[in-house]
Amino acid sequence: MIHVSLDRDEKAALQWAQKENFPWFHVLPDKVKRSKLGKYHTSGRVPFYVLLDKDGTVQAKGSPTVFNTAKSLK
């Protein structure tokens, strides 16, 4: 799981993620373009979930679909 932050304030983004106890990697706004993860965000909604395979192919989009698909992979 990777959290891609759209927050303009990096300090606030990190504080929020820490408060929520996110154990996964965070990509901050200034690194989104370089990480190439921005191409997967196709919705104006936040949060927006996308499940990718190891090759970067989209397997599922949207909260219920992503989490249901992820459960089936266990």
Annotate 31-45 with DSSP letters as a single string. HHHHHTGGGG--SS-
Instruction: Please say if the pLDDT value at position 28 is more than 70.
Output: yes
Region 25-45: mean pLDDT is 77
- pTM score, two decimals? 0.65
Place of tokens 């090759």: 55
CB atoms within 10 A of CB 69: 14
Candidate ranges 17-26, 37-46, 50-59; pick with highest mean pLDDT: 50-59
pLDDT-based confidence at residue 42 (cuts at 50, 70, 90): low
Contacts of 37 (CB under 8 A, 6+ apart): 2, 4, 27
